Amino acid sequence: MDFISNGYDGTVEASYPLCSSPAELTSSQLHTFVNKILSTLDLRSLCSVYFYQISHHLPVRTFDLSGLTPSLSVGEHLSLETRPVKISLSIGNTCDERADHACIYYFTRTLTRGERNLLGQMHTIFVQQLKQALAFEQLKKMATKDTLTGLSNRNGFNEASIRLISRAVRYGDAFALLVIDLDNFKTVNDTMGHNEGDAVLERVAGLIRNTLRAGDEAFRFGGDEFCCLLDCATAQCINSVASRIRDKVGQDTYLIERGVSCSIGGATYRAGDDINSLFDRADGALYAVKANGKNAFAAA
């Protein structure tokens, strides 16, 4: 334990350095941590825990700890009597072990030496676990990103589709899929080289990304094929997004000079769809566009 002092409201304050990125700290990690502290120190009987995050750099974020114990209250301003333990977390933006990256616990009574030691040990374990969890998240993120274009890759597409389909099933939130394939891309590779081909892919990815609104997401599915998951399901909406993408690509001087355009197939989610059936419909529409001379959009 690095620091113990009297808190300004008469509580005892214990502080530990904590090295973490607040954006990535999840409620479940905190659940685990707080649970461990409470059970180890046998503080559960003191009934209420108040937890919040403070940061000099970020807005306050309250974590949902409602499932932790029946007596837990989150986000309420409880009186000192009903707030025997207050745990607050102050973390900076970066993982640089600065003094203001700390996990601070407030206790209404002085902890025994044994409790202090236990708390210190629990904290050390938590920080180790947290670091591992963050490293794992980082790896996962890398595994869902296409390194050339920076878009999410096919893994990312699969994850996002599963999420959207389960939302559609549960809440009826329909969505749409666009499958985009470049026209005549192979010629760029064959005549100008693979690096130029890569530059074309990056260029197209940037144009698609900048065309989409918040809530829509673009993916590189593989090769010269891209996908978009759209947070809308009307024919008018997917038509207008597809037209915007086609216009952006079709009017880009760099791509015009390389003879590259794009063909797009679209489909909206229907009850009973899984990602394969939805994808097959959009891909069928794309296939029809290719067969009819490319550089157009069709919806299934």
Ligand X SMILES: Nc1nc2c(ncn2[C@@H]2O[C@H](COP(=O)(O)OP(=O)(O)OP(=O)(O)O)[C@@H](O)[C@H]2O)c(=O)[nH]1
Which residues bind to ligand X, rule: CB under 6 A? Answer: 148, 181-187, 189, 194, 197-198, 201, 223-224, 290
Residue 228 β-bridge partners: 178, 218
DSSP 221: E
Position with the least CB separation from ligand X: 197
CB of 224 to ligand X, least distance (A): 5
- Select 183 or 217, whichever has its Cβ closest to ligand X: 183
Q: What is the bridge-based pairing of β-strands 176-183 and 225-230?
A: antiparallel
Residue 225 β-bridge partners: 181, 222
In this structure, what are the phi and psi dihedrals at residue 214, rounded to the nearest 5 degrees?
Answer: -60, 140
Alpha-carbon dihedral angle through residues 251, 252, 254, 257, given to the nearest 10 degrees: -10
Give residues with Cβ within 8 angstroms of 278, minimum separation 6: 161, 177, 267, 269, 270
**Terminal C-alpha separation, the chain:** 63
| Residue entry with tokens 């890759």 | 153
- Select 53 or 153, whichever has its Cβ closest to ligand X: 153
Whether 159 and 144 have beta carbons less than 8 Å apart is answered as yes
- Select 198 or 231, whichever has its Cβ closest to ligand X: 198
- Select 61 or 186, whichever has its Cβ closest to ligand X: 186
- Select 153 or 211, whichever has its Cβ closest to ligand X: 153
CB atoms within 10 A of CB 124: 12
DSSP 70: T
Alpha helices per DSSP H over the chain:
27-41, 113-143, 154-171, 185-192, 194-211, 235-250, 253-257, 275-291
- Select 158 or 189, whichever has its Cβ closest to ligand X: 189
Tokens of 300: 């299934």
- Select 56 or 194, whichever has its Cβ closest to ligand X: 194
CB of 296 to ligand X, least distance (A): 12
CB of 125 to ligand X, least distance (A): 43
CB of 141 to ligand X, least distance (A): 20
- Select 181 or 252, whichever has its Cβ closest to ligand X: 181
CB of 192 to ligand X, least distance (A): 10
CB of 101 to ligand X, least distance (A): 40
CB of 155 to ligand X, least distance (A): 16
DSSP 46: G
CB of 254 to ligand X, least distance (A): 15
Residues 275, 280, 283: CA angle, nearest 5 degrees: 120
